Amino acid sequence: MKAPSSAPKKSWFQPAPTEAERAEQRQARAKLRIGIPRVLNIWSTHQFWFGFLEALGIDPRRIEFSSDTSDEQSRTYAKGRGTVDCCYPVKCISGHYGELLARSKRKIDILFSPMIHSVPSYLDGHVDASLTCPRVMAASENIKAGFIKERDAFAEARVLHVTPFVSLADPPVVPKQLYEGMQDAFPGLTLAETTHAVEVGYRTLNAYNQRLRAKAREILEWCAREQRPCILVLARPYHMDPGIGHEIEVDLQAHGYPVLWAQYLPTDPDLLHWMFDPDIAEGHIRSPLDIRDVWKSSYSGNTNEIMWGAKVAARMPWIAAVVRLASYECGMDQPTYSPVQSIVERSGTLFFSFQDLDSTKPAGSVKIRVETVAHYLAKQGADIIGKKLAASQPDCPLLKA
């Protein structure tokens, strides 16, 4: 397929394509190979994009993600294309773009990098509860600048850079946003099929999130049955990228402690009411998924989920330790450091923080700190569980499993 760096806009005076032309356009679309940088909010929404693109006729085997972030990736593909942004997870995107553009085997036709303005959230009761960090939202265009400043690297690689603006937390506007942002790149695209594909995207994402929440509940039930401690990681979903979060949670798990991730905590009504009914009765919150008692600002979906995760950690007896991860110079996370720590520690739960993560992986110091977490859990885990259990409501649903 011909792939100039920017496709001509449609003219109002063009006749509508015939059915035969549409069928031909759909066939051409099915042959597209789509590259998606494995960065930022793609970590929590990739299943939406899988469902969406597949419903538009793209073979899932033709959807290519870049590799995890690594030094080698930056060294090889980001040279001279850096951005002035001091946020490390944003800086790393240049390596992902470069890697996708450089692919000669399984060469991509489209580099798909949506500007995600808001992300779906399970939380409830907040205005603008789901906005993304502005650096995240602008990243696609910010990074593009480095690839066109001397010569147009997209045109040279014959790859279209497609960056639809999308508010995923606001489903009714999404079909129009994606249709407008993608119609020039996807042959024969219609608003009706975009609308259908968006529905499939949400269904795929929800099913995936439910599977992960069910798994987290299973782990908590096991901990409750065996009276064993587990660890909760409070971070942004992209800290799961080994190059951004430095696999600290993997090292912790190697010590035999199950690790849960805040964004995938179970949200089953029985568990939520067991944890939060006293707060509702006292009028601190209106629902178990409301964080107005601890966080008034509510300007970022990921931040809100970190705050809620801290509240869950404080109430869940088997979460005996919390590990906080944050990236170097993250202005969004900075104001949350103290409230998160005090919510967690006030409940007697252990709190450890790995802040200012950047390109350097201080392996020695991470090892020592991971061993410290494991040491305190071995020493105090059972005691913490006992004290938190004594302070909880009776009849924990996890103990009935």
Residues that bind ligand SF4 (CB under 6 A): 87, 89-90, 133, 135-136, 236, 327, 330-333
Whole-number Å distance between alpha carbons of 148 and 5: 10
Find where tokens 């509510």 sit.
298
Nearer to ligand SF4, 89 or 229 (CB): 89
Whole-number Å distance between alpha carbons of 306 and 302: 6
Nearer to ligand SF4, 152 or 358 (CB): 358
Residue 250 has which token pair?
């993997």
Minimum distance, C-beta of residue 97 to ligand SF4, in the bound complex (Å): 16
Using left for φ > 0, alpha for ψ between -120 and 50, and beta otherwise, residue 133 falls in beta
Minimum distance, C-beta of residue 99 to ligand SF4, in the bound complex (Å): 20
Minimum distance, C-beta of residue 376 to ligand SF4, in the bound complex (Å): 27
| Residues 35/106, Cβ–Cβ less than 8 Å | no
Minimum distance, C-beta of residue 335 to ligand SF4, in the bound complex (Å): 12
Q: How far is CA 188 from the centre of its chain?
A: 31
H/E stretch holding 339 reads: helix 337-346
Minimum distance, C-beta of residue 85 to ligand SF4, in the bound complex (Å): 8
Whole-number Å distance between alpha carbons of 214 and 38: 25
Residue 118 has which token pair?
């808001």
Minimum distance, C-beta of residue 241 to ligand SF4, in the bound complex (Å): 11
Nearest residue to 97 via CA among 154, 135, 40, 31? 154
Nearer to ligand SF4, 268 or 356 (CB): 356
- What value, to the nearest 5°, has the Cα angle with vertex 235 and ends 240 and 354? 95
Nearer to ligand SF4, 331 or 335 (CB): 331
| Residues 3/159, Cβ–Cβ less than 8 Å | yes
Q: In 56-152, which ranges are continuous DSSP H helix?
A: 71-77, 88-91, 93-102, 134-148
Nearer to ligand SF4, 104 or 338 (CB): 338
Nearer to ligand SF4, 109 or 333 (CB): 333
Minimum distance, C-beta of residue 289 to ligand SF4, in the bound complex (Å): 21
Nearer to ligand SF4, 92 or 321 (CB): 92
